[in-house]
Structure 1
């Protein structure tokens, strides 16, 4: 069974340009080889594992957020969040979420309930940390790195990414997929509708900026290697963001227009929809990483995406290797 070839580290190289390499190689050729690298690294398995962790993080965090808003007296925030999630959920899923939110609100009213909600947030953060370690694992395999970071370093690194890139991605999801519902909920609690107008106009540029920043963090910090300058990661990062936006928009449109989805899956429709979004997000991220890895491999003069096609290098490329380009 072939694996993805190790991408030599090229941070020491100077004088070349990512766009020039992209133009000389051809974007179609690079995309084909990036897809081959993704398959050789078993990218679909890593995407499925990451999607599970994303879902395991998001759903408890949403319910805990409703309970926390109730416990702290933030009734407006609680109403906006609850109405948004129920509006997003097709078919009988809304009833299921209503019961879950009511239970969270009731639990938050008691002293022990507040402790339980705090524990829920801690559990969601731990799950997000594990999700980021999965991002590292998949990124390492795509770059041909056999060993992940040591356990303590790996989970600390994942925790830091969860507190930064993880929250940015989740915020972008709320802005894009739930933006219209949040705008409607804000209109209900704002008599003049000014909050809703500002929200509906501003959510797009803010959401795109959040995604670009989050993906840039993951591309730079996830692999266990010294990454090249941001210009060499920008193309793959922008490609991943573009795929994520398109796939998220298509999923949101499908959920908004489909009446059969809720009827087919019943109370599981919301869970299935969340899993689909998480899987599409994971695929976009790893495919973008594969493109960045393949572009750097071409820069190093080792363009074969799978083992068996070329020598599998392990050491960084020195300055003299530029002649091979």
Structure 2
């Protein structure tokens, strides 16, 4: 699996090798757009073409496979945390989560998730200790996923990792905590339905009307929270100084929509046309589960690539050469060797 790219560890020089970006022209303008979303329609079209070209050029399918591995390591400790917390709310909250997972997860993959949640929920009497142990394990495992995503982000932005380990480890752990908090809010939104929603509605005085409104509005809210998690990932992970933090990014929203569409489409395919049981037998559930995680990571990485190309499009619309890589200044160069740091600084300050 090719997980390293020369674009990540050596800044590309003009004419050094072929670059798919040079095949998709983007006319420079005399105006400097304030943000990527202010690009012209022609520029947007070029950005979309370059996004797919760069996605392939950066070997993002391989990186999605690597993230799937780290995702598997972090998923079940994360489920332990989630079920332990939900155990404090009572068995109905856990059952609501199981019902929603059963509707969303594809094919036999849902059996793995539902079975894991049911087994973990049996230790509801130890919700407090289980939550602490599970949180520590999930935090360590999930930070491995974030670390891999940081490396993939550097490939996307053509930037070597210049942050020393004493900066990257706290950064990835802190980012992991932030993302887990947002995902916990998403999970809370999922389980806040039916009897749980009525109980919470009565508790804060909303009544049945407020509960009905929430049942309809919760999915857009959950989608926005997921978009916020992606925005944090996309802004913090790469070793580049981006113009400013955006609470929601085009790439984040695209990642959410692609993930939802791809998951639903794959679930439909597995249920109606797939023959995984015939081919893989008892391993069918595991195969379906891994493929669904891989598809999800493809959506996340494609969103990151889109945000990077939008930023690149803004730079090019301002007159920056198309083959300038990296195209944003680094956050830190302390971990780079002198020649590499000098090359990066020269390319990003011209």
Q: What TM-score results when the alignment is normalised by the length of structure 2? A: 0.67
Partner of 1:245: 257
CA distance in 1, matches of 2:254, 2:106: 26
Alignment map for 1:1-325 (pairs within 5 Å)? 3=7, 6=11, 16-17=32-33, 18=35, 22-23=39-40, 26-70=43-87, 72=88, 74-89=90-105, 97=113, 99-109=115-125, 115=129, 118-169=132-183, 171-172=185-186, 183=193, 197-230=212-245, 237-252=249-264, 254-255=266-267, 259-260=271-272, 264-265=276-277, 266-268=284-286, 271-272=289-290, 274-298=292-316, 299=318, 301-304=320-323, 314-315=345-346, 317=348
CA-CA distance at 1:225 after TM superposition: 2.3
Aligned 8 A contact 1:7 1:313 in 2: no
Aligned residues: 299
CA distance in 2, matches of 1:42, 1:161: 24
Map Cα deviations across residues 122-154 of structure 1 (whole Å, 9 max, x no partner).
Answer: 111112222222222111122121224222211
Q: Structure 2 stretches of 5 or more lacking a match?
A: 14-30, 278-283, 327-342
Q: Structure 1 stretches of 5 or more lacking a match?
A: 9-14
Aligned 8 A contact 1:53 1:131 in 2: yes
3-state DSSP of counterpart to 1:285: helix
Aligned 8 A contact 2:324 2:347 in 1: no
> Which region of structure 1 is more displaced relative to structure 2, 285-294 or 90-99?
90-99
3-state DSSP of counterpart to 1:315: helix
Q: What is the alpha-carbon root mean square deviation over aligned residues?
A: 4.2
Runs of 4+ in 1 over 6 A off after TM superposition: 187-193
CA distance in 1, matches of 2:124, 2:292: 25
Aligned 8 A contact 2:68 2:290 in 1: no
> Which region of structure 1 is more displaced relative to structure 2, 274-283 or 122-131?
274-283
CA-CA distance at 1:241 after TM superposition: 1.5
Aligned 8 A contact 1:41 1:142 in 2: yes
CA distance in 2, matches of 1:100, 1:196: 29
Aligned 8 A contact 2:254 2:303 in 1: no
Aligned 8 A contact 1:130 1:155 in 2: no
Q: For residues 239 and 90 of structure 1, do their structure 2 counterparts lie closer, same or farther at Cα, with a shift above 3 Å needed? A: closer
